[in-house]
Structure 1
Amino acid sequence: MAKCVLITGCSVGGIGNAFARAFASRGISVFATARDASRMENLAGLPNITLITLDVTSCDQIAAAVQKVSEKTGGTLDYLINNSGQHYTMPALDSDLDTAKRLFEVNFWAVLQMTQSFIPLLIAARGTIVNIGSIAGITPFPWMSVYSASKAALHAFDTTLRYEITPLGVDIMTVITGAVQSRIADNAPKFKLPNGSRYPQAEDLLKAIALGKGVDRSTMTTTEVYAEQVLNDILRPKKGRVWHGKYARLTRWMLSPLPMTVQFRIFMKRSGMEALLG
């Protein structure tokens, strides 16, 4: 029987969509999911791909997805890829708590719920969980503290979860992701500093960051290349933490030997903080 994978966040133009096409091209049966199935229209009708409407923050929709996959596969799932994510650019002091909590719902709590819900199928298949992390959870990214915290929480969760599920025959892989030509910023909250912000002089800079302006997307890793690189790692026996996307491996190399004080100076300069503070 062909292996199967469920992937969250498969809207067109994103990483999950590229994952779906990459897995399907290898003959793996794909359950591609998104909150709005119409945003996966480019996947409709492709061989080896089944579309499922799934809001990862909905317990009912997760339960329905588990049932559908179980019926199709006989109760097994070889790979679960938790790719859904939201972005948020805002100084920590100005962050809206409701927005911050919603981001954690998608970036962290949904991963826990998906893991708990699909673990019986993964155990049956001796499968693998793949969680999409970020260099933002490793390195200091000023103006993105809430997003960075959500990814750091995911990384810590994965590290501990590995000890707990390995005895059950399930592997886990964390992908520390660098700059990729995804559309995650397209779904981020509209940027506007609140009244009374302590950073009014940074508003134009922050707006540009939130919109992805000032970044040469042509130099980023394409979603197709990224998906193939990650898929190759998934299909290898060794799991754990892998690094893909522009700046990912550079970040891994750069941070390991550098004292925190040196890292602080580097990221203060790169984020524009030095200029703002004079």
Structure 2
Amino acid sequence: MPSKSVLITGCSAGGIGHALALAFQERGLTVFATARSLNKMQDLASLPNIHLLSLDVTDPVSISTAVKEVGVRTGGRLDILVNNAGQQFVMPALDVNIEKAKGLFDVNYWAALRMIQEFAQMLIAARGVVVNVGSTAGVVTVPFQSQYHASKAAIIMLSEILRLELAPLNVRVITLMVGNVASNIDVNGPPPASLPSTSMYLPIEKQIAADYTWDTMPTKKFASQVVADVMSGKSGKVWRGGNTAIIRWAVPFMPQWVFDKIMISISRGLDKMPMIA
């Protein structure tokens, strides 16, 4: 009997997708690891049962090519699709370049929907699983990350509605509510944008652009937990990563003014912003 198959987007080394590829491979699955650049995941090439595919999730032609290649190798079935590819975007909402923000949504939202549409027949044939990598960013309000958080809120809603729509087709859907995990999302995405010269936030530009360290879960541990979740038959929202317990159970019951004060004090210098008289 052929092994189950999984396709994962965004598998550049050092990230969540890369760790998931290794974790699924260790469980004996046939893994299709994808990224825009094969060089960024070349260390996977020598491992058994891993096939590297060049895939730009924003390019319909690239997706169609991947669909055909996977279909040939699996006989037209795909057991698990993991929509992991994503980008970060840090910028005050007043200064957001809307065209760049649309590009962010192309990667974080529209690409996942297109991947599900294009692989739907293979997933249905396999009674498969869709795993959409959401984020706790979709349920908390962190200053200067409005576009990234909005894209994650969108993918969470899409994923949860798809869970209902695909149930009659025997396709299970998992919405990963990812907390803080060691990842290269900032490295593999576009370079951080600088503030325009007209920005009201120039006094705190250095703080906005600074890297912040949070209580992160090791990527390998995270991937191991997620693969166990997928293989055990879970569906719906699955919370994994650092700080998820706090966000899941404490934040909803926290007074708004308390949560706002926390967000302002720990976020990229907003508490240092001079007030306009």
User: Shorter-chain-normalised TM-score: which range?
Assistant: over 0.9
Residue identity matched to 1:67: K
| 3-state SS of 1:52 partner | strand
Partner of 1:183: 184
Q: Using structure 1 for the length normalisation, give the TM-score.
A: 0.94
Which of 267, 271, 276 is the equivalent residue of 1:274? Answer: 271
Partner of 1:206: 208
Q: How does 1:26-175 map to 2 (within 5 A)?
A: 26-175=27-176
Partner of 1:256: 252
Partner of 2:261: 265
Partner of 1:195: 197
Distance 1:215 1:191 in 2: 19
Distance 1:249 1:44 in 2: 36
Residue identity matched to 2:184: R
Deviation at 1:277, TM superposition (A): 4.4
Partner of 1:5: 6
Residue identity matched to 2:42: E
Partner of 2:20: 19
Distance 2:32 2:234 in 1: 24
Distance 2:206 2:231 in 1: 44
Residue identity matched to 1:152: A
Q: Is 1:242 matched with 2:238?
A: yes
Residue identity matched to 2:261: R
Distance 2:160 2:256 in 1: 22
Distance 2:160 2:235 in 1: 12
Bigger mean CA offset, 56-65 vs 229-238: 229-238
Distance 2:122 2:65 in 1: 14
Per-residue Cα deviation, 1:107-129 (whole angstroms, up to 9, x for no partner): 00000100000010000000000
Give every structure 1 segment of 4 or more consecutive aligned residues whose post-TM-superposition deviation is greater than 4 Å.
none
Given that residues 88 and 189 in structure 1 are in contact (C-alpha distance below 8 angstroms), is that contact kept between their aligned partners in structure 2?
no
Distance 1:65 1:200 in 2: 44
Distance 2:190 2:61 in 1: 25
Unpaired segments ≥5 residues, structure 1: none
Per-residue Cα deviation, 1:57-92 (whole angstroms, up to 9, x for no partner): 010110111111111111111100000000010001
Sort the Cα spacing of 1:180 and 1:188 in 2 relative to 1 into closer, same or farther, 3 A: farther
Residue identity matched to 1:201: P
Residue identity matched to 1:57: T
Per-residue Cα deviation, 1:214-234 (whole angstroms, up to 9, x for no partner): 416xx4211111100111111
Bigger mean CA offset, 103-112 vs 264-273: 264-273
Residue identity matched to 1:49: I
Bigger mean CA offset, 95-104 vs 187-196: 187-196
Residue identity matched to 1:5: V
Residue identity matched to 1:206: I
Residue identity matched to 2:201: Y
Partner of 1:215: 213
Percentage of pairs with the same residue? 45
